[in-house]
Structure 1
Amino acid sequence: MAEADVQLHDFKNIFSLEGKVAVVSGGSRGLGLHAASGLLQAGCSKVFITSRKASACEEAVAALNALPNKRPGARAYSIPADSSKIAEIERLVKEVSKHTDHVDILFANAGATWGAYFDKVDEKNGWDKVMDLNVKGVFFTIQKFAPLLQAKATTADPSRVIVTGSVAGIGVGSLGESAAYSYAASKAAVLHLVRNLAVELGPRGILVNGIAPGFFPSKMANVLMERAGGVEELNKANPNGRLGKAEDIAATVVFLASRAGGHVNGDTVVLDGGKMLGSAKLERL
């Protein structure tokens, strides 16, 4: 019996993404680009990068294709698109379909934020733009890619959807001068969308999970980080003594996309070093 219990199926390759095809929205910088790098280095044969700015996509793809440890023939592709517009998402799917007949991994990462005092939040920029990209865009990106995600998916080898939420969608986000009400609400919405879509799409061979990062140095987060005291102060505030790093995002996405994450569905991985829990601790007597 003991001998049978220690026999694990091809465990040395359990994190491998050998030959998989991935799409990363918001992939030209920050968390999306970290994840795209991890996906390629874990064995993906094709990784499609999309974001609004063509020049940023091209620059990201050039850096990805220069990685020295990709699999032979592996390649990143640039397909710029505005994920807040359904017509643009449909065009993205058509462009991806020119290069592949299926998609194994969709990292729905495109997002935006807007900060202002409560009384100064406006409808168009402060609310609608954020919700259109962070919620509507995520849902319809998943919907439009579903046929490609289903194309080769099986119960034994399901496709994966990974959605970027935020700790702001679980706890309380930024308030005051940097208050991001629409961002926090949008991230709570997509993390609940993950739970609903996991049940809807699981029987179709598509697993859906979320990640909820805390502070990671990035263009989007840097202003907030400075207002919160800067990197050193934020490092000290985390129970594990540091902020997030590129490898933390890349490794989590690879885990959820690989055979290692094959029984995780409808869940959210919090990547904040314990900050939310630490912030809620009782004062020592």
Structure 2
Amino acid sequence: MADPLAAFRLDGRTALVTGAASGIGLAIARLFAGAGASVILADRDPAVEGIAADLGGRGVIADLADPAQVDALGDEPTDILACNAGIAGPAGPMHAMDDAARAALYAINLEHPIRLTARTAPAMAARGRGSIVLLSSIAGLRGNAGLGHYGITKAALAQLARNLAVEFGPQGVRANAIAPGLIATDWASAILSNPERTERRLGATPLRRVGTPGQVANAALFLASDAGGFVTGQTLVVDGGTLISDGN
């Protein structure tokens, strides 16, 4: 009997994951490797080399705010690209963010995926196959008073996925985004370390719990693999129902 989960396998494919030394990126890299992919992990944290070696892959220490380093990553032959690296930037009103902080936020969250896909998508198209997964956020699907610029970059990633899907779909390349909600990572510690904020957030989440990096990785595997072979240009929300809730 044929393996009913064969469509989720990534054997014979090379996957590049950015921001892969921790959190969601690490979970994606581990799952992709477990599904048979040859993985390339990129992160500014030097620990990425050892992490990649443990997965049988290759680690690249890279500053994703540096266009030259991003371009070098884009020259890697890949079948799957998962752009996960991102920062939140300082919380507060949009007008209060200084130029340097705003430039850093947009460079990592938006310019790095734009530059990387500008190199990888045409190469995938030339080979007739490829899948791109961009890590957006529910912050890009609703208004946000404290992380406005972050939300703008994440909304733009969902649009980037749609644009890539239309432009490269005829050549067999799919592009999608994932919009996580509150996930148990170091990034979410500002909320999770505050019982009152955590209770308020979970009270507005129908499943009443925090998500895990592995649950986001599961969505990434679906989109990257043949299991999601007829899905493109979509933003898959992984948030326990926060976005659709009436707050009760």
Equivalent residue, structure 2, for 1:82: 63
1:203 aligned to 2:187? no
2:51 corresponds to: 60
Aligned to 1:32: 25
Contact kept? 2:19, 2:25, Cα under 8 Å: yes
Q: Check whether the contact 1:225–1:234 (CA below 8 A) recurs between aligned residues.
A: no
Residue 222 of structure 1 is matched in structure 2 by: 189
CA shift digits 1:48-101 (9 cap, x unpaired): 000122x23124224x42xxxxxxxxx21101112222211122234x3xxxxx
User: Percent same amino acid among aligned pairs?
Assistant: 31
Counterparts of 2:58 and 2:211 in 1: how far apart (Å)?
Answer: 27
* Alignment check: 8 A CA contact 1:39 1:254 kept: yes
Gaps of 5+ in 1: 1-8, 66-74, 97-101
Q: 1:263 aligns with which of 227, 230, 233?
A: 230
* 1:129 alignment partner AA: A
1:132 and 2:120 aligned: no
Taking the aligned partners of 1:117 and 1:130, their CA distance within structure 2 comes to 14
Letter in 1 for 2:74: V
1:94-145 CA distance string (max 9 Å, x none): 4x3xxxxx411000111111133325321111x1111111111111111122
Max radius of gyration: which structure?
Answer: 1
Contact 1:215 1:225 in 2 (8 A): no
Pairwise CA RMSD of aligned residues?
Answer: 2.2
> Is 1:23 paired with 2:16?
yes
Unaligned runs of 5+ in 2: none
State the secondary structure of the residue aligned to 1:23.
strand
- Deviating beyond 6 angstroms after TM superposition, the runs of 4 or more aligned structure 1 residues are none
Alignment partner, residue 47 of structure 1: 39
Change (3 A) 1:257 1:221: same
The CA distance in 1 between the partners of 2:3 and 2:48, in whole Å, is 36
- Aligned residue for 2:58, secondary structure, equals strand
User: What is the distance in 2 between the residues matched to 1:171 and 1:193?
Assistant: 17
How many equivalent residue pairs?
Answer: 247
Which amino acid is the alignment partner of residue 171 of structure 1?
R
1:111-190 aligned at under 5 Å gives the runs 111-118=86-93, 120-125=96-101, 127-153=102-128, 158-173=129-144, 175=145, 179-190=146-157
